[in-house]
Chains A and B, each alone.
Chain A
Amino acid sequence: MTRWFEDITLNEAFPLGDHTFSAEEIIRFATLYDPQYFHTDPELAKHSHFGGLIASGWHTVSVGHRKMVDALFAEEERLRGLGQEPGVSGPSPGVNAMDFKAPVRPGDTVTYTLTVTDKRPSNSIPGWGLLFNQITAVNQRGELVYESHLVGFSKLRDYVMPLRLRLLLAITKVPVLSKLIRRAS
């Protein structure tokens, strides 16, 4: 969420919008990234236990990611509109769990929701915090399509670099000393 780490509320459902999957885009994604017959060939897919074409799980997840990015940008716009400086989100270190629950067929509309379930300052990157995000995807019949638990970086607004780190950073700017530090570490 492009709010500052400090302003992010936990366990609040944040709607990300929906997406209707066409057969054309299901086949296009699967041809590039998941070319199994039930994702690429509507005729052969009839022989599978799905009984027809279904989207690759990675496709439905990638669309969910796009929905989240769009929501971040919209939130950024909203905050700027209020005269506030938006927060900064960074790359993600990983995904704890991803469970595909129901297949997505051509014409299905999937609705995505983001909930931040926990947050803490990063141990490895000073000035950044970690967000524990849950994204759920539900189809037009109310069936759960997938549930995921992801980790994301978010910049701290109120971070003040400790004196020790500021000194270390200053030392690395002196060429001879930086060489010594690199050799020692």
Chain B
Amino acid sequence: MLSDLLYRLRALFRRHSMEAELDEELRAHFERQVEKHVQSGLPREEAARRARLEFGGLEQVKEECRDARGVSFIETFLRDLRYGLRMLQKNPGFTTVAVLMLSIGIGMNTGIYSIVESVLYRPIPAYHPNELVAVYTTGQNGTAYDSSSYPDYVYYRDHSHTLSGLIAYARIELSWEDSSEPRLLWSELVSGNYFSVLGVRPSLGRLLSPADDHPGSNARVVVLSYKFWKQYLGADRNAVGKTLSLNSGVFVIVGVAPEGFGGINLDWGEPPAFWLPMAAQQIAIPGAGDLLQMRDARWFLMVGRLNEGATFAQAQSELQLFAKQLAGSYPATNGESGAVVLHATDARFWPGYRSEVKRFLRLLAIAVGLVLLIACSNVATLLLARGLARRREMAVRVALGAGRGRIFRQLLVENLLLALSGAALGLLVAAAVMNWVPHFKLAFHIPLALDPRLNARVLGFTGGTVVAAVLLFGLLPSLRTARADIREALSEAGAKSSAGAATLRLQKIMTGLQLALTTVTVIAAGLLLVNLRRLENVRPGFDPHNVLTVGVDVFSRRYSASRAFRFSRDVLDRVAALPGVQSATLASELPLGLIRSTAHVEVAGGAGALRQAEGEIEFNSVGPAYFQMMGIRLLEGRDIEVSDQEGASTIAVINRTMAQRFWPGGNPVGQHFKLPELGRECEVVGVAEDVKVHTLWESPAPYIYLSALQNYAQMRLLVKTRGQPLAQAEPIRHIVAAIDRTVPLYDIETLDQQVGNSLSQPRMAAELVGVFGLFALILASVGVYGTVAYLVAGRSREIGIRMALGAQARDVLWLALGQGLKIIILGLGAGILAALAATRVFSSVLYGVSPTDPLTFCAVTLFLLLVGVIACCIPSLRATKVDPVVTLRYE
């Protein structure tokens, strides 16, 4: 064993000297043999000839010796590598085209996978993340997943044996007030064991401990994110012990989290800048009361670490048992509740939301996978043609003693080189795809904290793609080329032989396949474009032009309701007086925004009895003259007015659908309904036209507008301007600061932007798949062109004879076109059938169009037919220029 290894190593590293020795040994043998023949009386020349004959192929003997030495694998690989590089250099045209195609295919796949990886597979930055599980409350109001209340959390944490630790946390926004103007930063309110259960170590100072979140603990402490520490505190090593003002509370910095630690959740905004202990809850979440005591306030997410030896299933059943115990003890709040456990990696998004993200990613993955397949089959076609051209080279090598296996291996190494070069170039393509990420974040209703990187897993994926690509495009052509028949190849007529015909057939099939795949991709792109176009033409029902929206965070100031109303009126009056401002109003929810506020509704029935409407109805709190400013038509009654304020009778405007649902045929103005959860009864003063509330593709649902001066809610300022809306941002900032310097502003943007953002998912799908489709189309056109050119070239002799016999240019054109058209029609047909099956997959992202929309199918088919015919025509036209004299003389 050892001698074997030493021998191999010596052979590998002393390759040159061993080659020389082998050479010398064999030469000595040869000379002795010649001597022997000379001594037996032959003339020297005849003796040498005889010896050579006896010896057989010198190269072949050497090759077999190398094989016998057993080093040949690595050695021949290196040699193949050098040879392959030489071959690729010798054919720069072929190499460039093949590498470009592969770089597009591999690069796009790498780019999309880097996004998939960062969204779905990136582990939580914690110690042994596989042991972490997420726990949700279920059942109340029929929800599959809900957050949990703090008292429930404490019960689970203190009783569980399957979990070695359980943490609770809530993603919040904190107003940081130490800079010139307050800034809202994403943060987390966490239980004291948060960092110890996750197994995270500080990069400075200490992290939180259970002592920090003792209820009633007055120690106000905060842990900073590495990013915040670096960006805003200049990575100050003496930061520990200094204080920050957050939501008007003073907090002492105790430490800094490690670099790259951004918490568990990827949805709901940016990674946290601050971590506060639970003891600070009333400051962190003002106005919500003492959440740590309220069993019906489900604010917190839970993540636990499995105890050593405990299984996922054991944890699941234990927590379900606890949930049952809680339901028994607190039937009012927990009566219908259960518990559900997920792997924490699957819970980095809200579980119901994850499937939407996955669906979208799957669409992108399928599209880029198709592009890779098309690129591979295209390169395969090129290789087949090149294989025919290289048959002579192969035959010579076989004749010189190379085994077919060796040739096959060598061809595969050449292909591997192609794919690796493609991958290297593809990393640039991948970087371009990754630059799409800001777009990608917008594509979802919930902001995502995405950070795609070329990490080990992504590069591993690229490596796998390279191997898959080599198998896809290289295996078949290499096998065919290596099997080339020597005699046939060496004879003049080789190119027209049976092997040539078989290769041609394969080429045709490959080209047809490319067309079929392209048809699927382009039809998908077409459907998504039509979808986007239709959605863009949907009228939202309001006028978004020249409207600036400014989030005003009154909650973090812990204003009383009256104070908040007074503040709002002040702001409105002063903003409306600004030059360049037409009017100003308020809304708690922006149109085409994400947030839903819902309530149960009770309507007075015929005999004064109340009947409860099924399900909950959405409501918004809007300011005076909201409908006038937004251009929403009032069907009945009046707009909201300044006089609809605190103290006056509570009123509401409802939409057309709600009016039809509750007062069909009658006039709802003057009627009353109750919102039990809000503890109020409202008089309907107006009926407004239906508008799009969240998405442009929703169907109308009942909707209620309350007066923002009567209903205390988070508010956004809506300002109609005469000129560029964003120009008013600074004056508005000054006005708010003049009234209360510490109220933070957020999300300053135009309503046009908001409407545009609401289309970003369909737009992104259309753009990405459109780009993929475009590349597919280019690749397939090149493929059709190449194959037809090849077919025509192979038949130039036949064409020459036909023309010599009197065929017209038209007949020749048809002859050449016919070949290509057959491929095109078969490819398109197969593609349409495949598309009919495939587009179903993404019907969920098509809102404005059916997945089998006949118009799109027809248009795409005609378009592809046209492109295909053009790709055929160029080489076919060239065929008609064939000079019969020249072609026939060549033979």
* A, B co-complexed: no
B contact residues vs A (CB 8 Å cutoff) = none
